[in-house]
């Protein structure tokens, strides 16, 4: 019997290849519009399958996950040499997930939240009514400061420049890993400025990480994330603990994953609040009632359901991680279609987010949809802001609490007003993010209310 491949455009040549790097998201939308919820295509010698249907995504995430490993971009991070929660598969991934689970239990997240709140107010301390600045950059600064405080603890003095340089070098290596035919690893060995920068940055960050590891060995009362990883055990007590090198590598991937998603999702949330005054007014009313003019506390998180609904809706319309990548390690079938071994499967999570079949009035920013009764199947598998299945982000609860507390604390005093009424240009090579930042003017709320 002839194997049935998904429909698709066939090969994509070098001319169209340049469009992928200018706007990968737009290419995905075009392929989906032309060929449906599953499409097969080639770029040079590489085989790709774009999957947008929630049921098919669920197959890949759950029932047929053994046929798929992480994609080459995630597997080939140059900075890490050990399996991590982001780069590993199979037994390695199961072991690491079991070990790091305790680092994101509620009691531990509450400890992190105290540091989050302090950093949220520290960033705002320099703001003045009428100031104009790049709000996306401010949220990146906030996210980096939260990473420093929660990952390392306040007794470790981390210059902001080191965390910023670490992020830059992670992005540099990420770009290298998108290159085909092993070119990325070849270029990474050349004496280029970016590679020398990576070596210097990693040396400085490694010294800080290993300093915390040593302190954690001698102080069981530390509550920072790295110390939690050092002491990590699984519930059954069967898995060997993380080595120092594994803790180091886990810290790197969490810095990148946690920072990028948090910073971008906060910037998008305030952008959409600015375009929906009724939503912003309702959120401000909830914040004023719950906080009563005081800084938020960790237990206020559950008292802010509308604020959390606003964040959930922002993740629906502008999730920073809009696509997941897997690689078929064996021939298999998804739905009724044959997927050959070696195919790079692109899980286009954003597509169902914006599909009327799963989210009525999908083009509208409606936080109320998250306060209504949960929809029935098939929309259960239509929302993937933190991934899905066994690969779902282990820090999702951390990220949600961070975002809700930040939205509440900022909205308590400020309104964020973009300088342009146009929808901003978006960069989609790795994350769904503002291409040229988000220039805003900030307005103090007592002035706005007057």
| Lowest-confidence segment of 38-52, 128-142, 286-300, 407-421 by average pLDDT | 38-52
How many domains in the chain? 1
DSSP code, position 326: E
pLDDT of amino acid 206: 94
Under a CB-based contact definition with an 8 Å cutoff, are residues 355 and 292 in contact? no
Query: How many CA atoms does the CB half-sphere of 113 hold within 13 Å?
Result: 26
* Residue of 45 and 252 predicted with greater confidence: 252
Does 2 fall in a domain? no
pLDDT score, position 18: 56
Residue 237, classed as helix, strand or coil, is: coil
13 pLDDT above the threshold of 80: no
pLDDT at 450 over 50: no
The count of other CB atoms within 10 Å of the CB of residue 262 is: 25
Average pLDDT over residues 293-299: 94
Residue 229 contacts residue 251 (beta carbons within 8 Å): yes
443 falls in which pLDDT band (50, 70, 90)?
very high
Burial class (CB in 10 A: 0-12, 13-18, 19+), 429: middle
| Ramachandran region, residue 339 (left: φ > 0; alpha: ψ -120 to 50; beta: rest) | beta
* Residue 450: how many other CB atoms lie within 10 Å: 6
pTM of this structure: 0.91
In a domain, 406, yes or no: yes
Q: Work out the number of other CB atoms within 10 angstroms of the CB of residue 119.
A: 21
The answer to whether residue 1 sits within a structural domain is no
On whether residue 3 sits in a domain, the answer given is no
Q: What is the extent of the structural domain holding 426?
A: 10-347+360-449
- For range 6-18, the mean pLDDT: 70
Confidence of residue 171 (pLDDT cuts 50, 70, 90): confident
Q: pLDDT tier at 19 (50, 70, 90 boundaries)?
A: low
Residue labelled with tokens 């195919």 = 343
Which CATH number is 83's domain given? Answer: 1.10.630.10
Cα–Cα distance measured from residue 79 to residue 113, given in angstroms and rounded to the nearest whole number: 28
299 occurs within a structural domain? yes
């Amino acid at each position: 019997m002839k194997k049935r491949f998904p429909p698709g455009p066939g090969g994509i040549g070098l001319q169209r290849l340049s469009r992928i790097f200018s706007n990968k998201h737009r290419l995905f939308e075009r392929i989906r519009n032309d060929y449906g919820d599953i499409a097969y295509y080639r770029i040079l010698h590489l085989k790709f399958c774009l999957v947008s249907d929630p049921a098919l995504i669920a197959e890949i995430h759950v029932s047929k996950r053994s046929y798929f490993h992480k994609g080459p971009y995630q597997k080939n991070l140059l900075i890490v040499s050990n399996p991590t929660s982001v780069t590993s598969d199979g037994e390695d991934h199961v072991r690491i997930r079991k070990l790091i689970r305790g680092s994101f239990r509620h009691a531990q997240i509450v400890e992190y939240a105290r540091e989050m709140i302090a950093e949220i107010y520290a960033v705002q301390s320099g703001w003045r009514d009428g100031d104009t600045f790049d709000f996306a950059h401010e949220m990146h600064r906030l996210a980096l400061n939260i990473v420093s405080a929660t990952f390392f603890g306040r007794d470790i003095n981390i210059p902001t420049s080191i965390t910023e340089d670490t992020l830059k070098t992670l992005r540099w290596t990420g770009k290298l890993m998108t290159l085909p035919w092993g070119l990325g690893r070849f270029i990474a060995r050349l004496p280029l400025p970016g590679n020398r920068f990576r070596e210097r940055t990693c040396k400085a960050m490694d010294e800080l990480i290993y300093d915390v590891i040593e302190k954690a060995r001698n102080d069981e009362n530390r509550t920072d994330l790295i110390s939690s990883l050092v002491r990590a055990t699984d519930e059954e007590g069967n898995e060997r603990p993380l080595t120092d090198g594994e803790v180091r590598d886990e810290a790197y991937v969490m810095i990148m994953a946690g920072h990028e998603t948090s910073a971008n999702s906060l910037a998008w949330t305030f952008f959409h609040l600015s375009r929906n005054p009724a939503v912003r007014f309702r959120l401000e009313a909830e914040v004023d009632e719950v906080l009563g003019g005081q800084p938020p506390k960790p237990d206020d998180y559950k008292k802010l359901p509308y604020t959390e609904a606003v964040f959930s809706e922002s993740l629906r319309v502008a999730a920073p991680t809009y696509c997941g990548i897997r690689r078929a390690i064996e021939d298999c079938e998804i739905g009724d279609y044959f997927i050959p071994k070696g195919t790079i499967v692109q899980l286009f999570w954003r597509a169902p987010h914006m599909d009327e079949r799963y989210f009525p009035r999908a083009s509208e920013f409606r936080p109320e949809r998250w306060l209504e009764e949960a929809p029935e199947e098939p929309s259960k598998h239509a929302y993937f802001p933190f991934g899905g299945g066994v690969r779902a982000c282990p820090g999702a609860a951390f990220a949600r609490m961070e975002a809700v507390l930040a939205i509440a604390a900022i909205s308590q005093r400020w309104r964020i007003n973009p300088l342009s009424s146009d929808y901003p240009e978006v960069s989609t090579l790795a994350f769904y993010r503002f291409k040229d930042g988000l220039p805003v003017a900030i307005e103090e709320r007592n002035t706005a209310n007057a």
